[in-house]
Amino acid sequence: MTAWGGEADEIRLLVDDLAELLGRSVVVNDPLVRQIYGSRHFEDEDPVRIRAVLQHELGAEVTAHVVDQDIPRWPSAGRLPGAPALGLLPRWCVPLRADGAFLGTVMVIDADRTLTGAEQAAIDEAAHAVAALLAARAQVADARRDERDRTLRGLFGSADGDREAAVETLRDSGFPDRAQLVAMVVEVTSVRHSDAQIELALRHARSIVEAASRTPGLGLVTGGRIELVQHRPSAAVPDALREAADRIRHGLFRALGPQAGVVVGTGSPATALARIRASHRQAIAAVRAARRLPALDGVAIWDELGGNAPLLSLPDDLPPDAPAARALRAIDADDAGPRLRETLRAYLDHACSAPRTARALNLHRTTLYYRLNQIRELTGYDLGSGHDRFALQLQLRIEALGPRT
């Protein structure tokens, strides 16, 4: 059987022939340990093998066990230890590579360690042929992907001519234009997976969205991020966007494990491809919010960011050491720094009203004035100046949004 379905092809025939020769179950997994092709059973199947056939996945614990063996770095074939508690029998594994790229693994169940040297050589020979076919297929897919990625870069870019050409290309390809469209940005970090594995998982995120909405989507992978354009036939209200984002996160956690860092940001709906750039820029700011604000639990919707939205649109690489940042550090360096910061924040938040600030902090007004004078002397900022107040409050808001990365 094949997890992809469809007609038999050369890889499937190689897998079936090898399985018949060995009299053992054989599978080919992709770099994320998802089954691509599998032979019939030979009464050697274990619970993991049965689950892979029925549910097209191994389960998070088994996947983590396989990932922990670090097969992409194996120099040659080797034995994957079993995990009885997980229902996993030992397997003989051959890493699939082409031009140094890890393409997946051939796995053969070998519970009793009875594979002979000749059988291991046969597995190596078949694996070499499978790797060559996977590499050829990847080369064709990469060429198509490169063309699509150029189109998406034009769609998201600032050059009007490139964007108009991209819109025309997508229209000609049949992508819905005059429809409810929304941009989503997904970022992934994982110390347990290679860049290639993360990229594969991100490309899978696009198929998750497409399957859920039953409409086509577009995805541009750059580093540990995928930038998506999704057609939303129903109103792209925040609840619907959050449901789609949660579905993506769940799918990525299944592929990469719960330890992976996955954050999603979505922009506002756009009614045409030519207007999607604004939604895309909003999604980039939203994913920055999801990354920096733990309270958002990994998902940020642009329309729900409120007053923080403009600040989160600032780039992560702002010039360091702004004057207002130095002023706040001067406060922090003083022995009374924590209470002076609290006083400054309260004073600004209460529209510089001394009576309201004193009540909020439960202070005598004379004590409040003393602290405000200390702040003026430490920072050189005049709290009677609207310009100075704005600079300090803006810096406090930026710092409250968490560290910039």
pLDDT at residue 336, rounded to an integer: 93
203-239 pLDDT, tens digit per residue, is 877 777 666 665 667 888 888 899 988 876 555 577 8
- Domain assignment of residue 145, yes or no: no
Say whether both 118 and 34 belong to one domain: yes
pLDDT of residue 243: 85
Domain boundary among 312, 343, 367: 312
Give the pLDDT confidence score for residue 215 in this predicted structure: 62
Q: Which of 292, 312, 332 is the last residue of a domain?
A: 312
Within-domain flag for 169: no
Residue 189: exposure state from Cβ atoms within 10 A (0-12, 13-18, ≥19): middle
pLDDT value, residue 5: 38
Query: Does residue 245 sit in the same domain as residue 332?
Result: no
Same domain, 307 and 351: no
Tens of pLDDT, residue by residue over 265-323, are 999 988 888 999 999 999 999 999 998 888 899 999 999 998 888 888 777 677 777 89
pLDDT band for position 155 (cuts 50, 70, 90): very high
Q: Are residues 184 and 307 in the same domain?
A: yes
Task: Name which residue leads in pLDDT, 57 or 270.
Answer: 270
Give a yes or no: residue 348 inside a domain: yes
Q: Do residue 219 and residue 277 come from a single domain? A: yes
Look up the CATH number of the domain holding residue 22.
Answer: 3.30.450.40
Residue 276 maps to a domain: yes
Beta bridge partners of 38: 27
Confidence of residue 17 (pLDDT cuts 50, 70, 90): very high
Residue 173 Cα distances to 124, 151, 167, 210, angstroms: 42, 11, 10, 16
Beta strand extents in 1-121 (DSSP E only)? 26-29, 35-38, 78-80, 91-98, 101-109
Query: What is the residue type of 220?
Result: L
Tokens read off for 83: 């995990």
Check which CATH number belongs to the domain holding 201 and give it. 3.30.70.270
* Confidence (pLDDT) at 7: 35
Last residue of a domain, one of 116, 138, 160: 138
Q: pLDDT: is 73 or 57 the higher one?
A: 73
**Domain ranges, residue 295:** 177-312
- Quote the distance between the C-alpha of residue 14 and its chain's center: 34
Q: Is residue 166 part of a domain?
A: no
Q: Does one domain contain both 286 and 182?
A: yes
- pLDDT tens track for 63-96: 888 988 989 989 999 999 999 999 999 999 999 9
Same domain, 95 and 194: no
Q: What is the pLDDT of residue 404?
A: 60
Asked if 83 and 38 sit in the same domain, the reply is: yes
Which tens digit of pLDDT belongs to each residue from 237-262? 778 888 888 888 988 888 888 888 99
CATH number, domain of 396, equals: 1.10.10.2840
The answer on pLDDT for 2 being more than 50 is: no
**What does the pLDDT read at residue 213?**
60
CA pair distance 2, 56, nearest whole angstrom: 10
| Whether 245 and 200 share a structural domain | yes
Any domain includes 405: no
Asked if 284 and 346 sit in the same domain, the reply is no
Q: What is the pLDDT of residues 348-403, one digit of tens each?
A: 999 999 999 999 999 999 999 999 999 999 999 999 999 999 999 988 988 887 76
Task: Specify which of 51-60, 74-83, 146-155 reaches the highest per-range mean pLDDT.
Answer: 74-83
Q: Is 383 part of a structural domain of the chain? A: yes
200 with 274, same domain: the answer is: yes
Supply the pLDDT for residue 4. 37
**Total domain count, the chain:** 3
The pLDDT value recorded for residue 235 is 54
Is 405's pLDDT higher than 60?
no
Residue 24: its pLDDT value, please?
A: 94
Quote the pLDDT of residue 3.
Answer: 39
Average pLDDT, the chain: 87
How does strand 261-266 pair with strand 299-301?
parallel
285 and 330 fall within a common domain: no
Q: Is residue 158 part of a domain?
A: no
Q: What does the alpha-carbon distance between residue 348 and residue 113 come to, in Å, rounded to a whole number?
A: 72
List the one residue out of 154, 141, 269, 251 whose CA is nearest residue 206. 251
